[in-house]
Every structure is written in structure tokens, then in C-alpha cells.
């Protein structure tokens, strides 16, 4: 049974205003129009709408709460969650290449496959990797027994494969010239190459003044 409270990231005793705020925030984040009509975001958006429509109506919410409680009581909460299988059809892939992952869990009432989100206790998902981080893309499976407050976690790391050295060099070069996130150390969000050049210039200036001072 779907946990609508979990979908919206709220507690079971959330107020009407809490439900409304959570829905607004998540619907903006997952709206297909803002995510190039990606099927993953479209699915999540539908689930968020479904959760909101049920919980925002007092009568529907009461019926849902009764069913959820009955479902939770029938669940085998005394047994810790486990992951029977979590695998990918390949662990080396090029950017944009299709990956298929499959999983099967036991004794878990909340199952998440990150970075995708909530999933069924078992299933299969096909996706394409659009971005690697340091040549890697990590997928994590979380199987949680919410009453025992125990979670089993397993990960898969997909490593990036380049068609040739030219493509690899191009990818690294693009990374050097790409603007970085704004931080306290880098408020302007300068690229790695820009910061490197500035550092070299500052070093040359420092060495120049050091030599000049020694000369006197």
C-alpha cells in the first residue's frame, strides 16, 4: 500500500496547511514541464498529486488512514528488512547509455531507489545516465521496516566509459571551463581554469615582491 504521507514528506498527524505546503513545494520540483517531460518526474508528479487529492479531503483521508493502519498491523514488523537482489545489466557505461536495474526486498514497507525515489518492494527500472560525477554514477537501494526503524542498504556504482581518448579529453576540458557552484570560497562561481589562472598570477606576484624585497 502506498504511503502518501511519505510521498509528501510529512507526518501522519500533519495539518491541512502542512499538506498544502508540502504539495506546492514538491509539485514545483517534479513538474514535467520543468524537467523536459522526463518519465521519472512525470511518475513522481502523478504520485504527489494522488497523495494530495487523498489527504486534502477529510473523508478520503479518514478512509485512507483506516486502511493504512490495517495494512501496517498485518505487516510482519518483527522481522528486519533485507535485500534479496539488487543488480544492473552493466556496471561500465557511456554517457546516455541505457541501464536496467532490478531489485527484490523482503519485510520492508518503504523502499527507495536513489536518486529516483520511492519504488515497490520489487521491480525493474530502465534509465539513461546523463551526468557522471568524477567518472561514477551511484545507485542506492534502501529497504526500510518503519516500525523497527531498521534499513538495509545496498549500492551499485556505474563507472563511465569513453569511446576514445579524444572524448575523454573533451569531457575533462569542459569540466575545467564550466562555471562552479557559488560558495564562500568561490562567491563568483568561477570555473576551475579561471581559479587556477588567478592562483598562478597571485603566486607570480608574490614571488616577484619577495625577490624584490630580498634585493634591497
Per-residue cell: 206: 608574490
Q: Reading across the β-sheet that carries 82-88, which strands appear in turn?
A: 82-88, 98-106, 122-128
Per-residue cell: 122: 520489487
Question: How confident is the model over 114-149, as pLDDT tens digits?
Answer: 998 888 888 899 998 888 988 899 999 999 887 778
Break the chain into its structural domains and give their ranges: 4-74, 82-160, 166-215
Higher pLDDT, 39 or 169: 39
For 67, the enclosing helix (H) or strand (E) is helix 58-74
**What is the pLDDT, as a whole number, of residue 70?**
78
Residue whose C-alpha cell reads 546516455 in the numeric block: 96
Question: How confident is the model over 143-193, as pLDDT tens digits?
Answer: 988 777 889 999 999 999 876 555 555 556 566 666 667 676 667 766 777
Residue whose C-alpha cell reads 528486519 in the numeric block: 80
* Rounded (10°) CA dihedral 38, 176, 189, 132: 30
CATH assignment, 4-74: 1.10.287.110
Strand pairing class (150-160; 92-93):
parallel
Class of domain 82-160: mainly beta
* Rounded (10°) CA dihedral 88, 4, 68, 81: 30
Q: How far apart are CA 19 and CA 10, in angstroms?
A: 7
Coil, helix or strand for 75?
coil
Residue whose C-alpha cell reads 557505461 in the numeric block: 93
Q: What's the count of helices (H) and strands (E) in the chain, helices before strands? A: 6, 8
Query: How far is residue 126 CA from its own chain's centroid?
Result: 16
Q: How far apart are CA 186 and CA 175, in angstroms?
A: 16
**What is the pLDDT, as a whole number, of residue 147?**
75
> For the ranges 77-81, 173-177, 180-184, 197-201, which has the lowest average pLDDT?
173-177
Mean pLDDT, rounded, for 12-31:
90
- pTM equals 0.49
Per CATH, 4-74 and 82-160 having the same topology is answered: no
Amino acid at each position: 500500500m502506498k504511503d502518501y504521507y511519505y510521498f509528501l514528506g510529512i507526518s501522519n498527524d500533519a495539518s491541512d496547511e502542512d499538506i498544502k505546503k508540502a504539495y506546492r513545494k514538491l509539485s514545483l520540483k517534479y513538474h514535467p514541464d520543468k524537467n523536459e517531460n522526463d518519465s521519472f518526474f512525470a511518475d513522481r508528479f502523478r504520485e504527489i498529486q494522488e497523495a494530495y487529492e487523498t489527504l486534502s479531503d477529510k473523508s478520503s483521508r479518514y478512509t485512507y488512514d483506516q486502511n493504512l493502519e490495517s495494512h501496517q498491523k498485518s505487516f510482519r514488523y518483527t522481522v528486519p528488512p533485507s535485500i534479496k537482489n539488487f543488480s544492473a545489466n552493466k556496471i561500465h557505461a557511456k554517457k546516455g547509455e541505457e541501464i536496467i536495474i532490478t531489485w527484490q526486498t523482503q519485510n520492508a514497507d518503504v523502499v527507495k531507489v536513489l536518486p529516483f525515489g520511492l519504488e515497490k518492494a520489487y521491480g525493474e527500472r530502465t534509465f539513461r545516465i546523463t551526468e557522471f560525477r568524477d567518472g561514477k554514477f551511484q545507485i542506492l537501494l534502501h529497504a526500510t521496516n518503519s516500525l523497527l526503524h531498521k534499513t538495509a542498504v545496498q549500492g551499485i556504482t556505474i563507472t563511465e566509459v569513453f569511446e576514445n581518448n579524444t572524448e575523454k579529453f573533451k569531457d575533462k576540458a569542459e569540466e575545467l571551463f564550466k562555471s562552479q557552484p557559488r560558495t564562500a570560497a568561490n562567491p563568483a562561481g568561477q570555473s576551475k581554469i579561471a581559479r587556477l589562472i588567478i592562483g598562478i598570477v597571485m603566486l607570480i606576484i608574490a614571488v616577484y615582491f619577495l625577490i624584490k624585497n630580498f634585493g634591497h
